[in-house]
Structure 1
Amino acid sequence: MTVRNPVHALRSRVGHQVFLKIAGPDGDAARLRVHDTPGPRWFPPGSPIRRVHADVTTFVGGLRALLLQSLHPLAMAGVAGHSGYRGDPWGRLARTSTFLAFTTFGAESDALRMVQMVRDTHEKVRGTAPDGREYDAGDPHLLTWVHIAEADSFLAAHQRYGERPLTPEQADEYVAQSGEVARRLGAVDVPTTTAELTAALDAYRPELHATAAALDTARFLLREPPLPRVARPPYALLASGAVALLPAWARSELDLDRWTTRSFGPTAGALATHGIRWLMGSADRRASTVDDQSSARDLDETSSR
């Protein structure tokens, strides 16, 4: 009789709990659909977008993206007026992670369905910001801002904390690939290289500042996370790593300079990602599993013709 290593058993159990916290209660079913549904995919096995989105550094990058995105007053007004971070933070995280999974790894038919669901949701998110300006979540200019903040954050986290950082050429390819999804959502003038991504962020800079809602969001995400006490110390490490990756001007706008000096910054981010990676497996292992499944599925489809 084979006796299972208790450490491995604990690692598997806790890792699965972390997965369900991020992917939501239907995460297992969604994962099966993503990887087992036959049909062509938008991105081939081994592509930069698959490498980046398979890595646990997306946890750090996702938090950085939320903080950075909040600095556009109209984008923040849409979130605050129609969902907010306090109302359903884990549901919001699950929807975002599910969207990334289907558009990065899923069958084209499912990826298109997810894009249409998001576009339909955006149709309902309209209103007036506290400064009197009207906002519309389907506005191509706002969609582009949300995209570049996300792409820059995922890439920054992967290059700083990832197991195998991308080469400059691969980083350009990641920007181009993530831009394909953004264009399908309605974004315009989408960057296709890291240089264009940097230029796009600079171009939005005059529009960005911290509103009361943005400051409340930062306080909630960093100081009042909806987690049990036992989970807050490791989350604080992850949050420190995310804040350390923000541009200096963004940390200043969100009043995070003093908070940053009291944390371990990049070292904390590295510890957090190492810990999560130990629980959930390396990016290479998880990406290769996905790619192996894709290759097997493609072989089955070819054989059946």
Structure 2
Amino acid sequence: MTTLDTPAPADRAARLLDRTLAGPGAGRTNYLEPKGDPGFFGPDSMAWKVHANPIALAIGGVAAVILELAEPRVRSGVWDHSIFRTDPLTRMQRTGEATLITTYGPTKAAQARVDMVTRMHARVSGVTPEGQAYTALEPELMTWVHITAGWGFLNAYRRYVEPGMSLADQDRYHAEGGRLGRAFGAVDPPGSVAEVDAWFDRMRPKLVPHPIIGEFLHIVSTTSPLGLAGRALQPLVVQAAIDLLPRDLVRKLELPANGLGLAAAKPLLRGLALAAGRAPGEVVRQAHARVGRRLA
């Protein structure tokens, strides 16, 4: 039996994952000040709702990276100019931290993180092994990265938290996200599900399988700051991310699939997602307090 003072295992796991996603630098951001500052989105936004769930962020984030690594220019930019291969845990935590700061942080902190990431991207350029020149700030690439992140987070949330989300709310999520996309360099980011789908159709011919995708999936499946429990959970997150992708892209990218294993894991992932919804993380709580909103 679980007492009110002792969280159930699912609640403890969800809270630990939330702290992990926040990253070691999250404590340096003051989410409580200045009072009344809504940040980029504000408490009534879809982003504040969707990004509060660490399970959706974890699954959606892996799905997004698969789609990004399938684009040769993005793949070279990520793999050749980041620490993912040498320090994947820090790289994943930085990504989670950036998502939380740009979503829940006060305006000044969110803009500072955008500026920092943009400065880093400005130094990223090169030529893919196939001979394609690229720069990280190329508008099409920045737009694709913006789209894949939002698509992953939203659809993981729909799959594991709110399957009945209306199309109007899905459109609102994409429309609200346009501000952040433009801040990062996306040009005319899509503002609806239909526009996102059109971008997927545009990019499909450019997405190809590559051994680096398999290397990424292996790293994510075996790397976790949560100890033995995390190492057991990570392969489930990876399979859930693959399952989230459009079927034609799973086949085209030659992604591994474990239908039976995922079928058994889905109840656990849903349980963790619901537990996370019952126990919002500290970042989410502080952001709501900053704007004078009380969480249940």
Asked if 1:55 is matched to 2:36, the reply is no
Give the whole-Å Cα distance in 1 for the aligned partners of 2:11 and 2:248: 40
Cross-structure match for 1:205: 204
- Structure 1 residues 95 and 14 mapped into 2: Cα distance closer, same or farther (>3 Å)? same
Asked if 1:264 is matched to 2:279, the reply is no
AA aligned opposite 1:177: E
AA aligned opposite 2:109: D
Deviations along 1:22-45, one digit per CA (max 9) or x if unpaired, are: 222233343xx1243443422231
Aligned ranges 1:25-36 → 2 under 5 Å: 25-30=24-29, 33-36=30-33
CA contact (8 A) 2:39 2:105 kept: yes
Give the whole-Å Cα distance in 2 for the aligned partners of 1:249 and 1:54: 30
CA contact (8 A) 2:53 2:277 kept: no
CA contact (8 A) 2:242 2:250 kept: yes
Give the whole-Å Cα distance in 2 for the aligned partners of 1:42 and 1:255: 37
3-state DSSP class of the match of 2:70?
A: coil
Aligned ranges 1:66-215 → 2 under 5 Å: 66-163=65-162, 165-215=164-214
Q: Provide the alpha-carbon RMSD of the alignment.
A: 2.8
- Structure 1 residues 83 and 284 mapped into 2: Cα distance closer, same or farther (>3 Å)? closer
Asked if 1:294 is matched to 2:290, the reply is yes
CA contact (8 A) 2:32 2:290 kept: yes
Give the whole-Å Cα distance in 2 for the aligned partners of 1:85 and 1:184: 24
1:289 Cα deviation from its structure 2 partner: 3.7
State the structure with more CA Rg. Answer: 1
Unpaired segments of 5 or more residues in structure 1?
298-305
3-state DSSP class of the match of 1:191?
A: coil
Give the whole-Å Cα distance in 1 for the aligned partners of 2:38 and 2:272: 34
CA contact (8 A) 1:243 1:260 kept: no
Give the whole-Å Cα distance in 2 for the aligned partners of 1:41 and 1:231: 32
1:153 Cα deviation from its structure 2 partner: 1.1
Stretch moving more, 59-68 or 286-295: 286-295
TM-score, normalised via structure 2 length = 0.85
Cross-structure match for 1:282: 278
CA contact (8 A) 1:77 1:213 kept: no
Deviations along 1:13-72, one digit per CA (max 9) or x if unpaired, are: 655543332222233343xx1243443422231211111111231111111111111100
CA contact (8 A) 2:76 2:128 kept: yes
Stretch moving more, 59-68 or 158-167: 158-167
AA aligned opposite 1:293: A
Unpaired segments of 5 or more residues in structure 2?
none
Stretch moving more, 41-50 or 267-276: 267-276
CA contact (8 A) 1:115 1:184 kept: yes
1:189 Cα deviation from its structure 2 partner: 2.9
Asked if 1:234 is matched to 2:233, the reply is yes
1:270 Cα deviation from its structure 2 partner: 4.4
- Structure 1 residues 286 and 173 mapped into 2: Cα distance closer, same or farther (>3 Å)? farther
Stretch moving more, 75-84 or 10-19: 10-19
Stretch moving more, 211-220 or 174-183: 211-220
3-state DSSP class of the match of 1:127?
A: strand
TM-score, normalised via structure 1 length = 0.83
CA contact (8 A) 2:13 2:272 kept: no
Higher RCO structure (Cα 8 Å, ≥6 apart):
2
CA contact (8 A) 1:218 1:254 kept: no
AA aligned opposite 1:198: D
Aligned residues: 288
1:10 Cα deviation from its structure 2 partner: 7.3
CA contact (8 A) 1:34 1:105 kept: yes
Give the whole-Å Cα distance in 2 for the aligned partners of 1:271 and 1:12: 12
CA contact (8 A) 1:37 1:106 kept: no
- Structure 1 residues 11 and 240 mapped into 2: Cα distance closer, same or farther (>3 Å)? closer
3-state DSSP class of the match of 2:180?
A: helix
CA contact (8 A) 2:50 2:153 kept: yes
- Structure 1 residues 79 and 114 mapped into 2: Cα distance closer, same or farther (>3 Å)? same
1:277 Cα deviation from its structure 2 partner: 4.5
- Structure whose residues are more often helix by fraction: 1
Q: Identity of counterpart residues, as a percentage? A: 29
- Structure 1 residues 66 and 107 mapped into 2: Cα distance closer, same or farther (>3 Å)? same
- Structure 1 residues 15 and 195 mapped into 2: Cα distance closer, same or farther (>3 Å)? closer
CA contact (8 A) 2:160 2:273 kept: no
